[in-house]
Chain A
């Protein structure tokens, strides 16, 4: 029996919960999953790595590999190809529909195509790529303050390391620039990281769950990690990575969200109307991180 998972037409962090709900329902019903992306008109980096995480989780559940119907829009299909989505997706899905054959192009908007992260070497590759390609683009073309580019590689490194250090499995990262149309109306640079690993609650439970008692859940785990800086490691130096990302994002008027399980926590800038903590979301495996750095000068 095939169960349908709808991929929203506008597939980004705002519609991700809708996607998670569809995924969750389909998984609960059992059977082979079909991820239907034929109607997608826009897929952000967050949507793309999230879709890969869902495919990974479905594949890891055993049985036949999940199915994926590609977007019918040639523009969307082309972008997903340039963003490196299909190179990763082919390892997870049985793909139905024409795929772009060309390798990801050196597109100035795609600062880092979808890249698998499994080990420290992958993080080195990612940081090296960004340092070589993106730093000049960030400051000259996107008007990102040169000082903001300094911490960008650091924030990217720490976001990827959460997969290596805590997820218990691999994940994906993508970095892209685009026009943020909601309220801000500026160009932004986005780092999206996703895995289908154990998630924050399970990762921190053995070392921190007991003191929360019945209050221990996805939301308290995210708060403990991002706000209090706790780590599953007892080493006093641990927990610095998310704190560092948070400080970087706050300093450059950016946004940070981390979704894990049924909750999402956010550092919300003035240009956004998101809320700091959301609970009771449709469950989704692993962790999904979104960093947004806006252009530092307004364009008219």
Chain B
């Protein structure tokens, strides 16, 4: 089972309805705590976080939300809706911590982000759990649309 989180919606609920940017550690903390509460109520083996509505992420939020969730709560994290700008913050934060997530690209295929070996292991884990499958072209995509 894959639990989906709309990060922009959480930002609006947890912090301010008019905010479009994930910046400052205080905002990151508020968003993370909101996600943790929801996750605790209904944990799932895989969590997908959609950043599609988020304009800018800074390093502090990338660390406070994604890195901390991975270190303390969530084992398999799939990120979707990430722009190149988002990856500017997410990549160094993940690599700095030796963490990894799965990146779901616009075409639905999956790739690793962060520590390469860990990311590949996560992809294998998804395939073995039948939550993802290899396509005819050799790529990996989630089974659940």
Residues on A close to B: CB < 8 A?
Answer: 120, 123-124, 127-128, 131, 147, 150-151, 153-154, 157-158, 161, 164-165, 236-238, 240-241, 243-244, 247-248
Instruction: Using CB atoms, name the residue of chain A closest to B85.
Output: A150
CB atoms of B96 and A157 under 8 A apart? no
CB atoms of A237 and B23 under 8 A apart? no
Also in contact, A157 and B56, with CB within 8 A (given A124-B27, A236-B97): yes
B77 to chain A, nearest CB (A): 16
CB atoms of B55 and A241 under 8 A apart? no
When distances are taken between beta carbons in the complex, the residues of chain B under 8 Å from A236 are: 97
Whether B60 sits at the interface, judged by CB under 8 Å, is yes
Task: Tell which of A124, A147, A161 touches B60, judged by Cβ atoms closer than 8 Å.
Answer: A161
CB atoms of A127 and B56 under 8 A apart? yes
Q: Mark B57-77, 1 if CB is under 8 A from A, else 0.
A: 111101110011000000000
Q: Can you give 12 A-B contacts (C-beta < 8 A)?
A: A120-B25, A120-B26, A123-B24, A124-B21, A127-B21, A147-B84, A151-B85, A157-B58, A164-B24, A237-B67, A237-B97, A240-B63
Q: Interface with A: B37-45, B86-94, B104-112, B117-125, which one?
A: B86-94
Main secondary structure of the interface of B (DSSP, over half): helix
When distances are taken between beta carbons in the complex, the residues of chain A under 8 Å from B64 are: 237
Instruction: Using CB atoms, name the residue of chain A closest to B24.
Output: A120
A160 to chain B, nearest CB (A): 8
A118 to chain B, nearest CB (A): 12
Main secondary structure of the interface of A (DSSP, over half): helix
Known contacts A158-B59, A244-B58, then 20 further A-B pairs from the complex at CB < 8 Å, ordered by chain A residue: A120-B25, A123-B23, A124-B16, A124-B19, A124-B23, A124-B27, A131-B56, A150-B85, A150-B88, A151-B88, A154-B59, A154-B85, A161-B58, A165-B25, A237-B67, A240-B62, A240-B63, A241-B58, A243-B96, A244-B92
CB atoms of A153 and B27 under 8 A apart? no
Most chain A CB atoms below 10 A, which of B23, B59, B83: B59
When distances are taken between beta carbons in the complex, the residues of chain A under 8 Å from B88 are: 150-151, 154, 248
CB atoms of A244 and B21 under 8 A apart? no
When distances are taken between beta carbons in the complex, the residues of chain B under 8 Å from A241 are: 58-60
Whether B20 sits at the interface, judged by CB under 8 Å, is yes
Task: Tell which of A147, A157, A244 touches B24, judged by Cβ atoms closer than 8 Å.
Answer: A157
When distances are taken between beta carbons in the complex, the residues of chain B under 8 Å from A124 are: 16, 19, 21, 23-24, 27
